[in-house]
Structure 1
Amino acid sequence: MHAIILAGGRGKRLRPITDYVPKPLVPLNNIPIIEWQISYLKKFGVKEITICTGYKTEMIQNFLAVKNNLGVKIKFSVEKTPLGTGGAIKQAGLSIKDKSFFVLNGDTITNIDLGKLVKKQNLIASIELKTKFGVVEIEGDKIMQFKEKKEIPNVWMNAGVYHLQKEILQDLPKKGDIEKTVFPDYAKKGKLSTVKFKNAMWHSIDSFKDIEECSLELNKIIK
């Protein structure tokens, strides 16, 4: 299988770190995000990865050139100007020979089972939504208890992990986000499926708090 990692963003929310290094090289337990992602994809049999880059591309290329023991073939699809997720997939996908491929957002750390995604065409992994903040349970005007990051039952969110057929490339915009263009259209036409994952490890690295929380969880897994 082939995978695309969408890693072209500037990571503005992680400034000032991303003023000096691109977001894929931000470390989690001293290992950059991109290395965690490559190891994750390799675990599920991915042999070739195309990394979509734009911001500080050379730093990512140089890092991976030194890390020559990752065990997968790595290519780059460089965006001269920001293309959005749809445009990035379209550009990168033109060189993919497989009938289908995975897509992973460049700031996503997860253990979602990719093997469960290949059974259907054009599929999004979804995870049960958790609140970002603590919630209070109330009876009348009395607070009964506090709960941190409680799961909201039966409310599902896009996990940023996809299995797509190559035919989707013809429908993708040259510039624009797949989440705002093709996905809504495919959903209306009944051409988009999902697999739900409960209790999966999943982090989107958008803040310093995300770095801290994800690092702690990864540390538990390693131990």
Structure 2
Amino acid sequence: MKAIILAGGFGKRLKPITDYVPKPLVPIKNIPIIDWQIKYLKKFGVDEVIVSTGYKKDMIENYLKSKDHNIHIKYSHEKSPLGTGGAIKKAGNLIKDDVFFVMNGDIITNIDLNKMISTPNSIASIELRTNFGILDVKDDKITKFREKKEISDLWMNAGIYFLERKILKNLPFKGDIEKTFFPEFAEKNLLNLIKFKNVKWFSIDSFKDIEESSKEIEKIIK
């Protein structure tokens, strides 16, 4: 099984730390995000990872080459930003298998990838979560205060995809897959949704995300 990690972004929301290191090398409990991701992918039988790089590519490649992850790692470099669709199209040319996983380079999760393998061209989804407290109200009186929670039956893209190689020809040379290929395939009823309830999922977009994920990461990715 093969997987692409989309690791070419600038990580602007994590400035100033990303002025010095690319987002995949930002540490969670002193271990870079990309190390956690490789460990996670290996758990589900992924034996080759294509890392799609852009910003500070040399730092990512030099770091990974200095480590023994016991997994085959290849690199697909964007000379200029291609968007997620263009990045997958370019990196996908290094894959000969009929199917492969794609993972955004800032996701920490325990989503069970085995549940996606039987459904190509699928998106992993989780219930939308609010970052704010929820108020139960009756007659303009607060009856209960709830901490942030999942919102039932409202599903969001979890940043993990299981795709067929043959769809690479449909991807743009430049542009985001979420704005090009996915809407087109959805209109044709060719895009599948795999729902995951009660999973751990973090998108590392802020220092608060780093703090919160560090409390649970060793339970999430064992």
* TM superposition score category, shorter chain reference: over 0.9
Q: Give the aligned CA root-mean-square deviation in angstroms.
A: 1.2
**Equivalent AA in structure 2 for residue 200 of structure 1:** V
Partner of 1:11: 11
Cα offset, 1:222, TM superposition: 7.5
CA distance in 2, matches of 1:220, 1:42: 16
Cα offset, 1:220, TM superposition: 4.9
- Contact 2:76 / 2:91 at 8 angstroms: preserved in 1? yes
CA distance in 1, matches of 2:34, 2:5: 9
- Contact 2:109 / 2:202 at 8 angstroms: preserved in 1? yes
**Equivalent AA in structure 1 for residue 181 of structure 2:** V
CA distance in 2, matches of 1:109, 1:220: 11
**Equivalent AA in structure 1 for residue 205 of structure 2:** D
Unaligned runs of at least 5 residues, structure 1? none
Measured against aligned partners, the alpha-carbon deviations of 1:51-106 in whole angstroms (never above 9, x if no partner) come to: 001000111111111112x1110011000000000000000001100000000000
CA distance in 2, matches of 1:163, 1:208: 29
Cα offset, 1:150, TM superposition: 1.4
| Percent of aligned pairs sharing the same letter | 65
**Equivalent AA in structure 2 for residue 29 of structure 1:** K
Partner of 2:151: 152
- Contact 2:110 / 2:220 at 8 angstroms: preserved in 1? no
CA distance in 2, matches of 1:188, 1:132: 31
Unaligned runs of at least 5 residues, structure 2? none
Q: Secondary structure at the match of 1:203?
A: strand
Partner of 1:59: 59
- Contact 2:36 / 2:221 at 8 angstroms: preserved in 1? no
1:126-137 matched pairs, under 5 angstroms: 126-137=125-136
Cα offset, 1:189, TM superposition: 0.3
TM-score under structure 1 length normalisation: 0.97
Cα offset, 1:142, TM superposition: 0.6
Cα offset, 1:145, TM superposition: 1.7
CA distance in 1, matches of 2:203, 2:9: 13
**Equivalent AA in structure 2 for residue 61 of structure 1:** E
Cα offset, 1:146, TM superposition: 1.4
1:159-170 matched pairs, under 5 angstroms: 159-170=158-169
1:15-54 matched pairs, under 5 angstroms: 15-54=15-54
Cα offset, 1:221, TM superposition: 4.9
Partner of 1:141: 140
Measured against aligned partners, the alpha-carbon deviations of 1:165-214 in whole angstroms (never above 9, x if no partner) come to: 00110000000000000000100101000110001110000001111111
Q: Secondary structure at the match of 2:216?
A: helix
Q: How many residues align?
A: 222
In structure 2, relative to structure 1, the CA distance for the partners of 1:32 and 1:88 (3 Å cut) is same
CA distance in 2, matches of 1:170, 1:195: 24
Residue 76 in structure 1 maps to residue 82 in structure 2? no
**Equivalent AA in structure 2 for residue 145 of structure 1:** K
Partner of 1:104: 103
Measured against aligned partners, the alpha-carbon deviations of 1:95-140 in whole angstroms (never above 9, x if no partner) come to: 1000000000000001111111010120001101110111111111
CA distance in 1, matches of 2:220, 2:103: 21
